[in-house]
């Protein structure tokens, strides 16, 4: 009876307070909900800011870079005069390589523009409409098909970088003649050639196939693409087996003691070491001590592999740890040995994580220039490497070198090459996402 009374009193008390409590509760609830809303807003703002910067970055790069995929050329009827190309008539390739093709190109240009100017200065202005690399273009045509010698063939020849820049708007027509890089007289010729359809912008395949060049119009990413490819292969071949083996041992077999602790701390430290330090190491160990060739993509690959190792080890260990203990226990339960458990059950399940880590590591390595500076890969290389032992450059290196060049045409090419690099990185990152999705298993 008493107890009931007390309860009643309490509930009375409560009910008198209940309005107050409810009010407070709803206030608190509102506060909590507002906090959640605010947090969501902060998150969205953060994403929005990030996206905005990304959009700004992409629009500036793409708006600056797309002209790099076009190149102005001039179509000329080139007379492959045997007197100049092959006076001996032997069709000897070595001799064909040495002929004065510049003269042939200039003669064709003079003919197109109404005769060779008498004045030396005018003549110079005229032939400077053409790139310094046109001789190689004609040479390649002749060497590929010597039967053309003696004939007149129409060939699209590269226009000078400044002419190209003018047509793309990078050089302003309205600046005064004295300071403009393309002179009034040249403008006249250019307008004439454009009007007759002899000068036009074409897709710039050379951007992907040409080696480095001192002139923007003949500069390409050829050597850099090959060098980057070789380095990716070397990184894959070295860093994955070593990294995964190290991670497996540390995670599954190694005893927990001071030595393994030290190793673990050092691996994590290694991931934070500035990349130029790896370049110094590469110079000291691979070039000076082992005698590997300077500027070779093998050294670059080795240095980048070392750089990627910590990333792969850390990612692999995390992936191994993420495999559910029940899998391990199940395997032990049916009598599998430790090796069998790891290789038959754990490793396949950790695979998507390992792949993601590896690809992120490689993406990082592909974008590196600093370590390559020390080993002589930031260089002007004109010869296509056929093995990793030969000198090569890499994509970011080429971007860096173009960014520091004085000619106007390199500005757009820098952005264009950045677009190529970004496209490559995008493909790699997409591959990482795809692999993870495909092999990811839920339990």
Does 126 sit near another protein (CB under 8 A)? no
| 365 alpha-carbon distance from chain centroid | 10
Please give the structure tokens belonging to residue 233: 């292969």
User: Of residues 185, 214, 260, 364, which one binds another protein by CB under 8 A?
Assistant: 214
Per-residue DSSP letter, 181: S
Q: By C-beta, is 390 or 432 nearer to another protein?
A: 390
Q: How far is the CB of 239 from another protein (least distance, A)?
A: 11
Q: How many CB atoms lie within 10 A of CB 363?
A: 20
44, 233, 262, 339: residue in contact with another protein (rule CB under 8 A): 339
CA distance 50 to 61: 17
Return the residue of 36, 261, 329, 383 that touches another protein, per CB under 8 A: 383
The reply on whether position 252 binds another protein by CB under 8 A is no
Shortest reach from residue 63's CB to another protein, in Å: 17
Whether 153 and 78 have beta carbons less than 8 Å apart is answered as yes
| E strand or H helix that includes residue 158 | strand 152-158
Q: Which of residues 18-77 bind another protein (CB under 8 A)?
A: none
Residue 171 lies near another protein (rule: CB under 8 A): yes
The whole-angstrom separation of Cα 317 and Cα 354 is 8
Residue 212 makes contact with another protein by CB under 8 A:
yes
Size of the site for another protein (CB under 8 A): 52
Can you tell me which of 21, 34, 45, 237 binds another protein, judged by CB under 8 A? Answer: 237
Give the C-alpha separation, 243 to 251, whole Å.
12
Q: Which residues pair with 73 in a beta bridge?
A: 158, 200
> 10 Å Cβ neighbour count for 94?
7
Q: Could you tell me the smallest distance in angstroms from the CB atom of residue 331 to another protein? A: 16
Residue 238 found at the interface with another protein (CB under 8 A): yes
Question: Least distance (Å) from another protein to the CB of residue 426?
Answer: 27
Residue selected from 108, 167, 313, 378 as contacting another protein according to rule CB under 8 A: 378
The single-letter DSSP state of residue 147 is: G
Strand partners, 159: 130
Using CB under 8 A as the binding rule, whether residue 172 contacts another protein is answered as yes
Pairing of the two strands 152-158 and 199-203? unpaired
Alpha-carbon distance of 125 to 295, in angstroms, equals 39
Among 142, 190, 363, 401, binds another protein (CB under 8 A): 401
Other C-beta atoms closer than 10 Å to the C-beta of 294 total: 14
Site for another protein, residues 296 to 315, rule: CB under 8 A: 298, 302
Inter-residue contact 268 to 314 (CB < 8 Å): yes
Cβ proximity of 303 and 280 under 8 Å: no
> Closer to another protein at the Cβ: 357 or 409?
409
Q: Which residues of this protein are in contact with another protein, per CB under 8 A?
A: 94, 97-98, 132-133, 135-136, 171-172, 175, 178-181, 212-214, 237-238, 241-242, 245, 287-288, 290-295, 298, 302, 339, 343, 373, 376-383, 389, 391, 401, 403-408
């Amino acid at each position: 009876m008493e107890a009931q009374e007390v309860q009643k009193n309490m509930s009375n008390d409560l009910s008198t307070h209940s309005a107050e409590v409810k009010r407070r509760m709803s206030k608190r609830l509102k506060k909590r909900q507002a906090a959640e809303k605010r947090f969501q807003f902060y998150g969205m703002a953060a994403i929005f800011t990030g996206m905005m910067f990304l959009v700004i970055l992409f629009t500036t790069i793409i708006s600056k870079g797309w002209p790099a995929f076009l190149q102005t050329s001039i179509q000329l009827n080139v007379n492959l005069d045997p007197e100049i190309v092959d006076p001996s008539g032997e069709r000897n390739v070595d001799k064909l390589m040495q002929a004065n093709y510049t003269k042939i190109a200039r003669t064709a240009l003079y003919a197109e523009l109404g005769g060779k100017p008498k004045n030396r200065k005018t003549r110079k202005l005229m032939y400077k409409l053409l790139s310094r690399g046109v001789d190689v273009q004609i040479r390649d045509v002749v060497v590929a098909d010597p039967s053309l010698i003696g004939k007149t063939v129409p060939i699209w020849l590269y226009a000078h970088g400044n002419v190209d820049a003018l047509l793309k708007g990078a050089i302003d027509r309205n600046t005064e003649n004295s300071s403009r890089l393309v002179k009034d007289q040249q403008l006249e010729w250019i307008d004439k050639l454009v009007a007759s359809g002899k000068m036009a912008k074409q897709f710039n395949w050379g951007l992907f196939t040409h080696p480095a060049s001192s002139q923007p119009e003949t500069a390409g990413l050829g050597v850099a693409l090959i060098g980057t490819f070789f380095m990716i292969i070397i990184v894959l071949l070295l860093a994955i087996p070593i990294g995964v083996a190290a991670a497996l041992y540390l995670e599954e077999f190694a005893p927990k003691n001071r030595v393994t602790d030290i190793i673990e701390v050092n691996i994590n430290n290694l991931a934070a070491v500035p990349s130029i330090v790896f370049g110094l190491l590469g110079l000291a160990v691979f070039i000076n001590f082992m005698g590997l060739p300077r500027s070779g993509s093998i050294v670059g690959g080795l240095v980048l592999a070392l750089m990627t190792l910590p990333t792969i080890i850390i990612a692999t260990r995390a992936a191994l740890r993420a495999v559910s203990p029940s899998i391990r226990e199940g395997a032990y339960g049916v009598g599998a040995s430790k090796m069998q458990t790891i290789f038959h059950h754990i490793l396949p399940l950790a695979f998507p994580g390992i792949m993601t880590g590896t690809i992120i590591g490689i993406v990082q390595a592909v974008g590196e220039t600093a370590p390559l500076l020390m080993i002589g890969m930031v260089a002007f290389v004109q010869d296509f490497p056929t093995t990793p032992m030969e000198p090569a450059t890499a994509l970011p290196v080429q971007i860096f070198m173009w960014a520091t060049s004085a000619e106007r045409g390199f500005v757009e090419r820098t952005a264009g090459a950045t677009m190529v690099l970004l496209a490559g990185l995008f493909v790699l990152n997409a591959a990482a996402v795809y692999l993870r999705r495909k092999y990811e298993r839920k339990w």
